[in-house]
Structure 1
Amino acid sequence: MRTCHAWLLALGIATAGAAMAEEEKRAHAEFFNQDGDAIGAATLRQGPNGTLIQLEVQDLPPGPKAIHIHDTGTCEDHDHGFQASGGHLNPDGKKHGLMHPEGPDAGDLTNFYVHENGYAWAEFFTSRASLDGAIGAKILTESGAALVIHENPDDHISQPIGNAGARIACAVIQAAD
C-alpha cells in the first residue's frame, strides 16, 4: 500500500512539474554587432520570482561589459550605434544603477566578461522585470524591448548608463513560440 501511495505522490509531483513547465513563459533574442552580423543569442525564462536571462556571444572585444534591457524592440540601426533601442526599461522613472540609492531601473543588470577569444557565456536574473509584467516591468510590450551590450562595464551608479560607453551589440527580445 505504501508503494502505491508513494507512486501516486510521485505522479502528482511530476504532473504538477510538467504543468509548471508548460506555463513557463519564454523569449529569445539574437545579437547583432555594429556591422549587422549575428554574433550570438539569449534566452529569457520567466519564473515565479523574476526573469532568468542566459546569453552566449562571440566576436566581441575582450574585457568586462555592461548589458541592459532597453525599452524599444529594434536593432535595425546597427550602423548608428543601436540608438533606436531607446533608453533602459524604466516605467517607474528610477535612477540608473544597481548601487544608486534611487535605483535601480528595471533594465539594470550585472556586468559580464568577454574572454580574449571574444566569447562569453553569462547568466543574469532580475526580479524587476518579467516577460508579461506579472513581476516588475513588462518586457514584451507593443514597442518591444532589446538587450544591449556596451563596450565597457557599468559602474552601477553614474547617470544615465553607468559610464558603460558605446552600444556594441543588440538583440530584439521576442516571445518564443
Structure 2
Amino acid sequence: MRAFRLSAFALLPLAAALGGCVSVTANDRSHRPERAAVGDFGEATLFNAAGANVGRAILTQGPTGLLIRIEAEGLTPGWHGAHIHATGQCAAPFTSAGGHINHGEPKAPHGLLNAQGPDDGDLPNVFADAQGRVRAEIFTPNARIARTGPGQWLWDADGSALVLHASMDDHASQPIGGAGDRVICGVMAAG
C-alpha cells in the first residue's frame, strides 16, 4: 500500500478559499454563550423504589452547563431514560419529584429530537450493562448549580431530582418519550 502525502504548499489554495468564508476573529467573543462560575459541586444519592441505596450522581458546574456523572446499579440491562425533575423529593414511586424542570415560557415540549423541544429536564439515555450497572457522564446546557449562568438553577426553593426510568426515552413522543416508570431517584444537593 502506498502512503499518500500532502505538502503544506498543496493545502494553501484550500486554506485561502476557506479563509475567505470565516469572519470571526480571535478577539470576537460575541458568539460565546453566557458563562457560569466553574467548579461548584453537588451530588445525589440514588435510591430504588424499595428505598435501597443503588448509587450516586456527582454534579460539576462547567462554564456553559452542568456535567452529571452517574454511577448506579440494579437496573435491567439496556437503555434507560434520564431526566431532571423539578422537585427535590424522592418518595416512591417518585411522582413526588414532579415533572421535568421546564421553567421557560412558553414551556418547551419533551424531547432532545423534538423540533420544538427539548424541555430543560431532558437528558440523553444511559446504558445499563449485563449486570445492571450504569457508569455514564451526561452534559446539559439547560441546568446549572452555580448562582448565575446558563440553564435552570437546580437549587431553588423546592430543589430538584435526577430520575432514571425503566425504559429508553425516544426523545420525541409526549410526555416523556415512552421512558416508562420512574425506577431510580436522587435528590440533588450542594456538595
TM range (shorter): 0.7 to 0.9
Q: Partner residue of 1:19?
A: none
Report the TM-score, using the length of structure 1 for normalisation.
Answer: 0.83
**When you count helix as a share of all residues, which structure comes out higher?**
1
Secondary structure in structure 1 of the residue aligned to 2:130: coil
Pick aligned residue for 1:91 from 103, 108, 112: 103
Q: What is the aligned residue count?
A: 152
Q: How does 1:20-99 map to 2 (within 5 A)?
A: 24-75=39-90, 77-78=91-92, 81-92=93-104, 93-99=107-113
Report the TM-score, using the length of structure 2 for normalisation.
Answer: 0.77
Structure 1: distance between partners of 2:72 and 2:38: 28
**1:152 correspondence with 2:167:** yes
**1:110 correspondence with 2:117:** no
Larger radius of gyration between Structure 1 and Structure 2: 2
- Cα pair 1:33 1:168 within 8 Å, conserved: yes
Overall identity of the aligned pairs, in %: 42
Q: Partner residue of 1:15?
A: none
**1:129 correspondence with 2:143:** yes
Partner amino acid, structure 2, of 1:94: A
Q: Partner residue of 1:120?
A: 134
Q: Partner residue of 2:5?
A: none
* Deviation per residue, 1:22-59 (Å, 9 max, x gap): 96111100000010000000001111110000010011
Partner amino acid, structure 1, of 2:61: Q
Structure 2: distance between partners of 1:146 and 1:23: 21
- Cα pair 2:111 2:122 within 8 Å, conserved: yes
- Cα pair 2:169 2:177 within 8 Å, conserved: yes
Secondary structure in structure 1 of the residue aligned to 2:188: strand
* Deviation per residue, 1:61-118 (Å, 9 max, x gap): 111100000000011x22xx10000000100111100011111011000001101111
- Cα pair 1:133 1:139 within 8 Å, conserved: no
Structure 2: distance between partners of 1:133 and 1:165: 33
Query: Residue 140 of structure 1: CA displacement?
Result: 1.0
RMSD across aligned positions (CA): 1.2
Task: Give 5+ residue unaligned stretches, structure 2.
Answer: 1-36
- Cα pair 2:69 2:135 within 8 Å, conserved: yes
- Cα pair 2:38 2:63 within 8 Å, conserved: no
Query: Which 4+ stretches in 1 moved above 4 angstroms?
Result: none
Partner amino acid, structure 2, of 1:64: W
- Cα pair 1:96 1:162 within 8 Å, conserved: yes
Structure 1: distance between partners of 2:179 and 2:69: 20
* Deviation per residue, 1:106-143 (Å, 9 max, x gap): 10000011011111100000011111352111111110
Partner amino acid, structure 2, of 1:134: G
Partner amino acid, structure 2, of 1:90: N
